[in-house]
Amino acid sequence: MGAAGISLEECMISSLFAKYSSTRDRTLSLIEPLIDEDCCVQSMSETSPVKWHLGHASWFFEKFVLQNYEKPFTPFHPAFLTMFSSYNKSGQTHPDPKRGLFTRPSLSLTREYRNNVNERMEQVLKCADKNEILHMLVVLGMHHEQQHQELMLADVKHLLSQSPLNPSYNSHPLPGSLAPPSLEWRRFDGGLVEIGYKGDGFSYDNESPRHKQYLEPYQLASRLVTNREYLEFMKADGYDNPGLWLSEGWDWMKANRQRHPLYWRDSDQGWEEFTLSGAMPLDLNLPVIHVSFYEADAYARWADARPPTEAEWENAAAQQEIEGCFADNNRLHPSSAGEAVQAENTDSLAQLYGDAWEWTQSAYSPYPGYSPAQPNENEPMSFVWDEAVGEYNSRSMVNQYVLRGGSCVIPKERIRASFRNFFPANTCWQFSGIRLARDAN
């Protein structure tokens, strides 16, 4: 017992609920700038309404924690266990394009659902004995909610960009930028390296197991590709040269009439870019973002380079501190490499973390030795854990590419060198950018 008569176990439970509450509160703070109508619309099939994100995050805790640890368990609304789920019991994904058709429940009722789940979670955690799986489920649920916080910002940006009013989500105007330093090349010797998660903290199953990979000597660009440099690619007819594009990328670009990054607009005053702070003149000093893998790969070919592999990226990232432009500064847009704080090490890489997710040329696939979680017959509650983990990665390991490093719309605490993001090659609405690589020889 401590001086106040509180056991260590009680302190741990209290700390867990405090972190749970903080994570949940941040979600609500992110929707404060929105009006109710903003929260109920789905702008394309890849995105989801804010209202669905709110309900889905609560669904996770009701489905995987309360349903198994609340005695007796009574769902807030039986239909919510289905409509806010991302998959059903047969393992099929819930139909994403139809989420925007859910005019009911109302946003206010969805908020009530969220408050109800929070109250019940507090009671469960207060009454819980030392339970490792319960603790793991709550931690997983918090990381799950942080993931949806990032998705909400990306989805809201796409939604607001559709309005002729050019609404601004972020009340903070973007400051002026500094010119970035010239792009230089940093050499890495390669050899037999280890990648994958190492440590005692939280990680996703797709970051493990830690394993060895052999790398030939390689080089990485000292910073991200800028809007100015990408504009040069466009002016050089990069979108009209089939020799620069993967065949599938060329077909995608032509079919979608893609001629520039997603949120660029050609106006009478020159190029503009739609941001979460509204539409503004294109800042040529900032990293180019919202490009697909196809565009990143085409630009790299034009620049006589290539995207890095994820092993090359992680080998370099493991040698640097995690610093960069994250959501913590409330900018919600990349900063210039001229503003980046670089280490004294001359081989440091600017913008390696934060700013923009960096496309790699690595297909999203399991690491050697990876095995999806299997239920433990001797531990009944392990079935719950395995079903919750099933919300994530192993079923997504096909037809996607890995991105690394985080972005300007995620908290710094969420990123690590081993973190693997993944999206299809045609994805533009994520905060994705370009770092060049090339063989050292």
CATH of the domain at 74: 1.20.120.450
CA 228 to each of CA 95, 180, 282, 306, 397: distance values in angstroms, whole numbers, following the listed order: 39, 11, 9, 19, 34
Angle 326-328-332 from CA coordinates, rounded to 5°: 60
Q: What is the mean pLDDT of residues 397-420?
A: 96
pLDDT band at 14, cuts 50/70/90?
confident
**Secondary structure element (H or E) that encloses residue 402, with its range:** strand 401-404
The structure's pTM equals 0.92
Q: Do residues 183 and 221 touch, judged by C-beta distance below 8 A?
A: yes
Side chain identity at residue 16, one-letter code = L
Which ranges in 245-375 belong to alpha helices (H)?
A: 247-255, 293-302, 310-317
92 plus 230 within the same structural domain: no
> Does a structural domain hold residue 51?
yes
> Among 101, 128, 161, which residue terminates a domain?
161
> Does a structural domain hold residue 46?
yes
Which of 97, 29, 85 shows the shortest CA–CA distance to 58?
A: 85
Q: Given this model, what pLDDT does residue 3 score?
A: 38
> Does a structural domain hold residue 205?
yes
What is the residue whose two structure tokens read 């050089």?
A: 236
Pick from 19-33, 163-177, 360-374 the range whose average pLDDT is largest. Answer: 19-33
Provide the number of structural domains found in the chain. 2
134 plus 201 within the same structural domain: no
Question: Does position 66 have pLDDT exceeding 80, yes or no?
Answer: yes
Q: Given this model, what pLDDT does residue 8 score?
A: 43
- Token pair, residue 333, equals 């847009």
pLDDT digits (tens, 9 = 90+) for 150-184: 999 999 999 999 999 999 999 888 988 999 999 99
242 plus 275 within the same structural domain: yes
206 plus 322 within the same structural domain: yes
139 plus 249 within the same structural domain: no
> Does a structural domain hold residue 1?
no
77 plus 212 within the same structural domain: no
pLDDT digits (tens, 9 = 90+) for 192-229: 999 999 998 899 989 999 999 999 999 999 999 999 99
Q: What is the mean pLDDT of residues 391-415?
A: 89
CA distance 19 to 23: 6
Q: Is 317 helix (H, G, I), strand (E, B) or coil?
A: helix
Pick from 17-21, 341-345, 425-429 the range whose average pLDDT is largest. Answer: 425-429
Q: Do residues 30 and 153 touch, judged by C-beta distance below 8 A?
A: yes
Q: What is the mean pLDDT of residues 319-332?
A: 95
422 forms beta bridges with 402
As a whole number, the mean pLDDT across the chain is 90
14 plus 118 within the same structural domain: yes
> Does a structural domain hold residue 169?
no
370 plus 265 within the same structural domain: yes
Domain containing residue 54? 8-161
Least confident of 5-14, 145-154, 178-187, 320-329: 5-14
